[in-house]
Structure 1
Amino acid sequence: MDKQQIFSLLKQGNVTKISIAYFISFFGTAMAPIAMAFGVLELTGSTKDSAIVIAAPITGSIIIMLLGAAIADRTSRKAMIVVADIIAMLAQLIIACLFIFEQANIVNLTILMLINGIAFGLHAPAAMGLIPQLVKKKDLQGTNAIVGIARSSAMILGAAAGGILVATFGAGMTLLIDTGTFALATFLVISLRPSKQIKSQGESIIQELKLGWKEFTSRKWLWVIVVQFCFIVASVEAVYGLIGPAVAKDQMGGAADWGLIAAAIGAGTIVGGIASFYMRFTHPLKVATLTSFSFSFISLALIMPLQLHWIMLAAFLGGIGWEMFSILWTTTLHQAIPSHMLSRVSAYDHIGSIGLAPLGIVVAGFLYESLGFQIVLILCALTVIIPTVLVYCVREVREFEVANLETEENPEASSAQPTN
């Protein structure tokens, strides 16, 4: 994709609006995990207790995601995103006030983080299905890359700001700012004008979910990679959400250092997003699988731990790999999965990928206190490396090719009448 094509995409109102919405939303999203991790660690002083709170939103998203996906495919994906963001905004506002007024405890934080996770479970499959309604199929990878760069830029600034804000003003004020970003992003989503949604016509939600499951399991490359990510996400969430901040607090310079490490991840994702503009691969899932090895780099760098600049380099390389995987994977799903099935298939993808994450976080929290951070980080790195090696051995993954769709129109994006 050349610069002219990039600017042509940016001239499209939907692409510009969704990119700005992602930038604003992920600026706050990058601050929130830092604020929650250090806020809860300061509150409890225990990684075991903190793990329960940090695992709660993932549990909430698992509970609701399939239902949310079926509803999104039957009704309006855009409306589903708006509702989900409002729920998340209100939950985050209450959490911020609890920290500010020193009323936070494990019980109320766990409940509110569970609600936050439910909001994400409603948002994620609807968002996956909405992108193909905004652009033509030939523009999907370019649009995903633009959105990815917006997200990555926000992650850099938000993570750096989050570390500084938490260290200076505390978790409550940082989360209050995050609440404002939800409101702005929601306003932009409301202003989107997606094409007419091809809605699922199943007799019932149960039937819808059965059809989605059949679509999901019929593609070996799809479910094999989802199983791989069930382990990878458990490792990544444990490291980024709990163990990394705990190591930064106990062995390094605290929230400010972890903010810089998180910003380095964001910087890497920008490079990965830019690279995805220009790279086209005959076998995209083969390349995506190879990038997965980079997700272990930050765990390996924290084992010693290395000096801050080396950890930031590991985080940077991991960010490049994460964004390249994300764009290749998302574009593959957009191209290979029928549009009316996309939210449901993506829900099975999300649930499968995050299914072990709550357990991974809780186990990591217990092992941190019983075995020490080094053993936990070695286990986290192996939990990334071993499944990735096994998936690379699967022929359907290495040889997968997406048909040439550059000249095809996306039926959802080329419909004449917009809809909500």
Structure 2
Amino acid sequence: MVRGPAGAVLVRARPPWAGRNFLLLSAATVVAGLGSNGALIATSFAVLGAGGSATDVGLVSAARMIPLVFFLLIGGAIADRLPRHRVMVAANSVNCVAQGLFALLVLAGEPRLWQMALLAAVGGTGQAFFAPAAEGMLLASVSGEDSGRAFAVFRVGVNGATIGGAALGGALVAAVGPGWVLAIDSASFAVAGALRAFLDVSGVPARAPSGGVLHDLRDGWREVAGRPWLWGIVVQFSIVNAVIIAVQSVYGPLVAEEHLGGAGPWGLALAAFGAGTAGGALLMTRYKPRRILLAGTLSVFPLALPSAALAVPLPTAGLAAVLFGSGVSIEVFAVTWMLALHQEIPEEKFSRVSSYDWLGSLAMVPVATALAGPAQDLVGRPAALWGCTALVVLLTAAVLCVPDVRRLTRRTAVVADGDGDAADDRGGARITPR
């Protein structure tokens, strides 16, 4: 608070980037994230509790992933054609019903594998339509030169919900069982959907008629293909992301079991990674690199260190330190990437471009996790891990060869146009205050 004339106490105005839509989106994301991250644990234990095997857990996970990847591009095109908040609310409603039915099956006892896989697939379909709409809505909710700080604050909420949801979910699964945790997740989707229904879209420019979904998909592809920095980083992360997940989900537990003492040390190392992501997001509320993609891409190099640390392998304390640093690094990249998309992509195409980004991030993950075991059998685990390290380093170095990655600069000059609206230098495009 500050004091006004005659000592009157005035409430400090919230920062310009913390508009109503941004606050609603952030709150809804935290609520849904707490439920969803707990549900990830609950789903695995629900499958195992029904007599399923580790293979069955993987099948249910794949049942969610396949429609998520398959429908992402369509979801992005739809989100740029319809009001994004309605797409988000509809997707939240689908996930609410799917998780509610999943919870009822588990609480009633003896759910069948096909039923759990079907409901997981419905949830994945909902997420495919939700993710591009949500990212497009977030990018459209922020304006001004402090947009990077806004994205960093949003990431703080996302990471807090990830850490808190996993911790609460694990505790609640142990205390009351997976069925109730799935029911809580269903309720969290209902609350998040209700919050998103109150988003104000009156300032969003009207969508011009287009030639249909296929036309929009081609148009989105032209936006991606016409920007070497964009498609280069999407291709880079299609492999980098898959390598990181394969290391964490396949090789990490095996190394921990054989050399570090089991699940406890590995859980500690993953907790350090989570703490690093939270710390990195906090760092980005203050750090404002001028060359945003150069700073973001340089921060990808430390992501090669966890696989190298497991190849050695380092003791638990060293591994935790490495994972903490990689968590910080990934958040530096995440915020600079969001800032680049916000700055360079036209508002009406945010979601369809986001869908290509999401597709690149997810498409290779099942392939990498499936090939991790055969690669280990073929060349040995240390060689496979060093190969992961080399892939991250080489791909990141290759992206740095793209001139726009090195040169893209944060734009800070925002001036008023003749109508009083803010305008940037993207060919005269306006940023309407939200």
- TM-score, normalised to structure 2's length? 0.82
Residues 39, 318 of structure 1: alpha-carbon distance in 2 compared, 3 angstrom cutoff: farther
SS of 1:136's equivalent in the other structure is: coil
1:330 deviates by: 0.8
Aligned amino acid, residue 153 of structure 1: G
CA distance in 1, matches of 2:305, 2:107: 35
5 Å-filtered alignment, 1:101-112, equals 101-112=108-119
Structure 2 counterpart of 1:222, from 199, 213, 230: 230
State the AA in 2 paired with 1:146. V
Q: 1:83 to 1:165 in 2, by over 3 A?
A: same
Q: 1:195 to 1:277 in 2, by over 3 A?
A: farther
Task: Give the deviation of 1:83 after TM superposition.
Answer: 1.0
Specify the alignment match of 2:330 in structure 1.
322
1:30-77: CA deviations, max 9, x gaps? 32333445655675444x554333233332122111111111111110
Structure 2 residue aligned with 1:235: 243
Percent of aligned pairs with the same amino acid = 32
Matched, 1:76 2:83: yes
Matched with 2:359 is 351
User: Would you say how many aligned residue pairs link Structure 1 and Structure 2?
Assistant: 411
How far the C-alpha of 1:164 sits from its partner, in A, is 3.1
Instruction: Select which of 289, 293, 301 maps to 2:301.
Output: 293
State the distance in 2 between where 1:6 and 1:236 align: 41
Inter-partner Cα distance in structure 2 for 1:113 and 1:241: 20
Q: Which amino acid aligns with 2:342?
A: H
Q: Secondary structure of the equivalent of 2:299?
A: helix
* SS state at 2:201 partner: coil
Gaps of 5+ in 2: 1-10, 417-421, 424-428
1:191 alignment partner, one of 189, 193, 198: 198
The aligned counterpart of 2:102 is 95
Partner of 2:3: none
- Give the structure 2 partner of residue 149 of structure 1: 156
Alignment of 1:264-343 (within 5 A): 264-303=272-311, 306-343=314-351
Rg (Cα) greater in structure? 2
* 1:278 counterpart SS class: coil
Higher mean C-alpha displacement, 336-345 vs 33-42: 33-42
Equivalent position amino acid for 1:88 in 2: N
Letter in 1 for 2:336: L
Compared CA separation, residues 349 and 97, structure 1 to 2 (3 A): same
Alignment-derived partner of residue 182 in structure 1: 189
The offset of 1:379, in angstroms, is 4.7
- Contact residue 230 and residue 353 of structure 1 kept, 8 A: yes
Q: Report the secondary structure of 2:300's partner residue.
A: helix
Q: Single out whichever of 335-344 and 27-36 deviates more from structure 2.
A: 27-36
Which of 2, 13, 37 lines up with 2:20 in the alignment? 13
Deviations 1:128-151 (A, max 9, x none): 211243232434222211211111
Aligned partner of 1:398: which letter? R
- Asked if 1:163 is matched to 2:170, the reply is yes
Kindly state the Cα deviation for residue 386 of structure 1 after the two structures are TM-superposed. 3.1
Q: Secondary structure at the match of 1:103?
A: coil
Q: Is the 8 A contact 2:303 2:329 kept in 1?
A: yes
Q: TM-score, normalised by structure 1?
A: 0.84
The DSSP-based 3-state class of the residue aligned with 1:335 is helix
From 215, 218, 222, the counterpart of 1:210: 218
Whether 2:401 is the aligned partner of 1:390: answer no
**2:41 partner letter:** I
Match of 1:117 in 2: 124
Residue aligned with 2:281, SS: helix
Specify the code of the residue in structure 1 equivalent to 2:227.
R
Measured at CA, do residues 175 and 169 of structure 1 come closer, stay the same or move farther in structure 2, by a change above 3 Å? same
Q: Does 1:131 align with 2:149?
A: no
CA distance 1:92–1:231, change in 2 (3 Å): same
> For residue 414 of structure 1, what is the aligned residue in structure 2?
432
Runs of 5+ unmatched residues, structure 1: none
- What's the CA shift for 1:396? 2.8
Question: Match of 2:217, as an amino acid?
Answer: L
Would the aligned equivalents of 1:134 and 1:194 in 2 still touch at CA under 8 Å?
no
**CA distance 1:30–1:385, change in 2 (3 Å):** farther
Worse-matched range after superposition: 103-112 or 185-194: 103-112
Q: Which residue of 1 aligns with 2:7?
A: none
Inter-partner Cα distance in structure 2 for 1:388 and 1:173: 43
RMSD: 3.3
1:214 Cα deviation from its structure 2 partner: 1.0
Is the 1:92–1:176 contact (alpha carbons within 8 Å) kept by the matching residues of 2? yes
- Taking CA–CA contacts closer than 8 Å with sequence separation of 6 or more, which of the two structures ends up with the larger relative contact order? 1
SS in 2 for 1:398: helix
User: Partners of 1:195 and 1:23 in 2: how far apart?
Assistant: 24
Question: What secondary structure, in the 3-state scheme, does the structure 2 residue paired with 1:8 have?
Answer: coil
Tell me whether 224-233 or 395-404 shows the greater mean CA deviation: 395-404
Aligned-partner SS, 1:280: coil
Are the counterparts in 2 of residues 159 and 262 from structure 1 also a CA contact under 8 Å?
no
Deviation of 1:183 after TM superposition, in Å, equals 2.0
Conserved in 1, the CA contact under 8 Å of 2:300 and 2:333? yes
Q: 8 Å contact 1:78–1:189 — kept in the other structure?
A: yes
- Contact 1:50–1:365 (8 Å) recurs in 2: no
How far did 1:178 drift? 2.4
Name the structure where helix makes up a greater proportion of residues.
Answer: 1
SS of corresponding position for 1:138: coil
Counterpart residue identity of residue 407, structure 2: E
- The answer to whether the Cα contact below 8 Å between 1:160 and 1:263 also exists between their aligned partners in 2 is no
Partner of 2:409: 401
Cα displacement string for residues 138-181 of structure 1 (whole angstroms, at most 9, x for unaligned residues): 34222211211111222222222233334555544433332232
